[in-house]
Amino acid sequence: MILYERPNGLRLFFALRGSILPRIAPSLLTCTLLAVVVTLSHGVLFQWKITLTPVPFSLIGLALAIFLGFRNSTAYDRYWEARGLWGQMVESSRTLARQWLSLVRPLEDSVPGRQRHGDFVRRCIAHAHLVRHQLRGSAPGAELARLIGPEEAAAAQRLRLPSEALLRRNAELLGEALAQGRVAPALAAEIDRSLAALTHAHAGCERLRGTPIPFAYMLLLHRTAYLYCFLLPFGLIDQLGFMTPFVVAIVAYTFFGLDALGDEIEQPFGLSAHHLPLDALCRIIEIDLLEALGEPAPAPLQAVDGCLH
């Protein structure tokens, strides 16, 4: 996620950092070059004058506006839903820690007993890290073994869904506390609901990751946008003359840019500059839960070069 301020004045037009421009440069260049060729040949292609006027573009523009508006809002809604689900990860982890520490009595009321009691909370931190790695397709590092011990870490990673195994282990701890009368059933039910909220947040992220916007939409949209931009110079040349390539470049920049940006943020779990800062969110969960345990916590992650991962 990019966090720096919007550049002012002329620098606005030359900022590349955080721009979608590099990604769409090839299409944009091809399109503009075509417009230059059309301008130089005055719209005559192989001795045929292409008889286009601006009219068809406003007709096709109708469908294109619907496509791009839909594309835009759908992609952003997915981005924001993903952010909301991670917000729920943060919130439910905090709530779970608070509930476990204040409403469940430790098995032994001693320093090592309370330490062991905190394993539940540390497993919540590990859960967030595991969900992050599953969403990014990366392998968890040493933090997992540090938080839940090497054995449980290894066992969990043999499964398709390691994070869920951690929740099951915490649910077993809850079941034991319940059987031993260390927590009242009504409050165990609350804690169980917080565990379910973590399952919910994770399943929601998986859903976003596994279900792209239907392919045929994208195909329809891309075809329309490309046809529109590549035909545009023929429609403008008679009116605009030498300004044609310039106008085509602006129009293509907005249409291709909007589309490429949608591609970026509709799957917001990656490591691109436009994706969600899952590392930083996991660190926040780690800090908050360690603070709840009264243990020393690391510092929040800082943006590097204006970008938080």
Task: State the minimum distance, in angstroms, from the CB of residue 232 to a copy of itself.
Answer: 8
Q: Does 11 bind a copy of itself (CB under 8 A)?
A: no
Binding residues for a copy of itself restricted to 145-164, rule: CB under 8 A: 159-161, 164
Interface residue with a copy of itself, options 36, 240, 301, 303 (CB under 8 A): 240
Nearer to a copy of itself, 57 or 269 (CB): 57
Over the window 13 to 32, marking each residue x when it contacts a copy of itself by CB under 8 A and - when it does not, the resulting string is x-x--xxx------------
Interface residue with a copy of itself, options 29, 33, 62, 271 (CB under 8 A): 62
User: Rounded CA gap, 287 and 295, in Å?
Assistant: 9
Query: Tokens 């869920």 identify what position?
Result: 164
Q: Does 138 bind a copy of itself (CB under 8 A)?
A: no
Task: State the minimum distance, in angstroms, from the CB of residue 237 to a copy of itself.
Answer: 10
* SS3 call for 304: strand
Task: State the minimum distance, in angstroms, from the CB of residue 195 to a copy of itself.
Answer: 7
Binding residues for a copy of itself restricted to 245-304, rule: CB under 8 A: 247, 250-251, 253-255, 257-258, 261, 264-265, 274, 276, 287-288, 291-292, 297, 300
Task: State the minimum distance, in angstroms, from the CB of residue 242 to a copy of itself.
Answer: 7
Interface residue with a copy of itself, options 31, 35, 67, 123 (CB under 8 A): 67
Total residues at interface with a copy of itself (CB under 8 A): 122
User: Rounded CA gap, 229 and 258, in Å?
Assistant: 14
- Of 82-90, 111-119, 131-139, 143-151, the window that binds a copy of itself (rule: CB under 8 A) is 82-90
CB 265 within 8 A of CB 75: yes
Buried b (16+ CB within 10 A) or exposed e, 233-257: bbbbbeebeeebbeebbebbbebbb
Residues in contact with 297: Cβ distance below 8 Å, sequence separation at least 6, in sequence order: 286, 287, 288, 290, 291
Task: State the minimum distance, in angstroms, from the CB of residue 14 to a copy of itself.
Answer: 10
What backbone phi and psi angles, to 5 degrees, belong to 129?
A: -60, -40
Helix axes 278-293, 55-103, angle to 10 degrees: 20
Q: If 0-12 CB within 10 Å is exposed, 13-18 middle and 19+ buried, where does residue 129 land?
A: buried
